[in-house]
Amino acid sequence: MTFRLVPLSLAAVMSAGLMAYADPPHARPGDLPPGLAKQGKIPPGHAKKMWKQGEYLPVDYRTGHEFEDWRRYDLEPAPPGYRWVVVDEDAYLMQVTTGLVANAVIDLLD
């Protein structure tokens, strides 16, 4: 009789252990825990993404983020084939066709 309980006990312990690995409800990309989402804060240990000169902006940031107010912030005019874009508070001068970052001004709008 005790030999029948061992497999059941083992199965119960294993299934309880697997539940610990289940994703929390905020584990989808871009989701924040409810307390941090309300405060608009980045979770501890997660820095915001900043791109440097020579890196490429992701496609999602190449259009719809145009920055037309560059004169107000004493930025150089974008040469032909380039444009200023803003992601969060950062301004990037990027090549239109490739997304190559030619200049990055971090925390410009902070």
Sorted by where each starts, the structural domains of the chain and their CATH numbers stand as: 1-47 (no CATH), 48-110 (3.10.450.160)
The arithmetic mean of pLDDT across residues 58-72, rounded, is 90
pLDDT greater than 90 at residue 92: yes
Residues 96 and 82: their CA atoms lie apart, in Å, by 5
**pTM for this one?**
0.57
CB atoms within 10 A of CB 51: 19
Residues 82 and 39: their CA atoms lie apart, in Å, by 35
- Give the helix/strand (H/E) hosting 85: strand 82-87
Please state the length of the chain.
110
The arithmetic mean of pLDDT across residues 91-96, rounded, is 95
Report the chain's C-alpha Rg in angstroms. Answer: 24
Nearest to 62 by CA among 36, 99, 23, 92: 99
* Higher per-residue confidence, 36 vs 105: 105
Whole-number mean pLDDT of the chain?
75
Q: How confident is the model at residue 21 (pLDDT cuts 50, 70, 90)?
A: very low
pLDDT greater than 90 at residue 5: no
| Cα-to-chain-centroid distance, residue 107 | 16
pLDDT greater than 50 at residue 104: yes
